Amino acid sequence: METFRQFDRDPNHKNWLKGIMVLEDLQDCLKPFIEDETEKLHEDLRNICGPRQCDNNCNPKYQGPNQNPVFNCDVCPNWRKEIQNKHKSGKLMWKNSEAHEWSRDKWAVSKVYMPDGHKKHNSIDDFDIHSFLTLINQCKNFQRFELGELCNKVLNVRNRMMHSPRYQLDQEDLLDFLDRIRDLGDQLSKKNSGFKKLAEDINEILNLNFRLVETEELERMENAIYTAVQLANEYRDNQDSLNEVVVKLEQCISERDSQILVLRQRNKTQQKKHDWEIQRLQSALVHETTEHRNTKVQLENLHRELQEEKKMRSDEQKYWPRWREFTWRNWEIQNDPVKSLIKKEDLAGGLFAVLGGLLLALFAILK
């Protein structure tokens, strides 16, 4: 386990892992590309050699590079010739496939351009990145991509990575290796869109910060994450409940505000009525006060008139007997000449008395 921990602590080990991850990413990009190109290669050969297939199960044994194998049909020699014509450089691995399969299976043809050891491989997932890059290097059908030495440079990266004695890679070599892979991807992306994301993936892996974790520690981390998720869910549930309470409180506050607004409107209306009633009462009070004052004045005048009338009546009672007596006597004198002569002085005195009473009564009225 110490080796494992050392692997996690050493940045050069992590650089080696990053290089392996980028090679794997390149291999994933190459798979659909190789699938299509090998199909085109087989179709080109079939157009040249014809649609006939080998019916004799030709499978000659190869004993040397200059040996001409003997075939049991006239189909396989033509396929062998055209496979050689498509060969650019390097060594052809005839023993990777059987001759009678060339006319039937594209991989039987493609394996001839690959390194040794692929006799039983018959699908895209059976081949590694070394096989893909060797096929591209040795087959002329890939010359139109103008890759030059890019494949050889990436092959060198792969070989140095796979043969690293301590599975280490310093930062300088890592950057150099990633640049080589990025250049190959950029060149292929000019004619194949499947490589356009490779440069972005390389930068992401280069900046990746990771660590290696033991199983027990991983379980502890998973348990901690699970606990954190549970707490987060509980918090979210509590938050949802709180949100519901807040919504209800807001609704209550809104309803209370509406009620307060209605009460304020009613209060304003009642206040206006009260103000109007107060003004009406004040006006009525002023009117009543005025009426009271006028009534008081009228009562005072009436009282004064009653007093005057009472006094006049008193004066009348005081002076009326004399006046009546004077009037009576005067009548008698007028009717009796003798008495008229006798009482002439008394008549004068009575007149003065009556006049005096009248003057007193007039003075009382004026007063």
| Residue range 172-230, pLDDT digits in tens | 999 999 999 999 999 999 989 999 999 999 999 999 887 766 667 667 767 778 888 88
For tokens 């070989």, name the residue: 159
304 and 357 co-located in one domain: yes
Q: Which of 21-25, 59-63, 363-367 has the highest mean pLDDT?
A: 21-25
**What sign does the CA torsion over 140, 146, 152, 158 have?**
negative
Residues 6+ apart with CB under 8 A from 30: 129, 132
Give pLDDT, residue 361.
67
Same domain, 145 and 231: no
The reply to whether 167 and 96 lie within a common domain is yes
The SS3 assignment for 254 reads: helix
pLDDT at residue number 342 = 47
Going through the chain in order, the beta strands assigned E by DSSP cover none
How far is 128 from 164, CA to CA, in rounded Å?
Answer: 18
Domain ends where: 172, 191, 212?
212
Do 235 and 339 fall into the same domain? yes
| Beta bridge mates, 87 | 139
Task: Indicate whether 142 and 223 sit together in one domain.
Answer: no
Query: What is the rounded average pLDDT for all residues in the chain?
Result: 83
Q: Which pLDDT value is given to residue 149? A: 93
Q: Verify that 186 and 246 share a domain, yes or no.
A: no
The per-residue b/e assignment along 326-340, b for 16 or more CB within 10 angstroms, e otherwise, is beeeeeebeeeeeee
Per-residue pLDDT at 293 exceeds 80: yes
The Cα–Cα gap between 146 and 190 comes to: 10
Task: Say if residue 37 is in the same domain as residue 183.
Answer: yes
Same structural domain, 246 and 314:
yes
Q: Do 111 and 36 share a structural domain? A: yes
Strand partners, 139: 87
Do 131 and 238 belong together in one domain? no
Query: Which of 184, 212, 240 is the C-terminal boundary of a domain?
Result: 212
- Stated as kind and residue range, the H or E segment containing 227 is helix 215-335
23 near 171, Cβ under 8 Å? no
The amino acid at 41 = L
Number of domains in the chain: 2
Query: Do 79 and 107 have their domain in common?
Result: yes
Give the span between the Cα atoms of 112 and 340, in whole angstroms.
196
Q: What's the whole-model pTM score?
A: 0.59
**35-55 mean pLDDT:** 95
Average pLDDT over residues 59-69: 68
Containing structural domain, residue 228: 218-366
Residue 87 — φ and ψ, nearest 5°?
Answer: -80, 130
Q: Among 212, 245, 268, where does a domain finish?
A: 212
139, with CB counted inside 10 A (0-12, 13-18, 19+), is buried
The first and second tokens of residue 266, run together, are: 């009613």
| Residues 17 and 106 both lie in one domain | yes
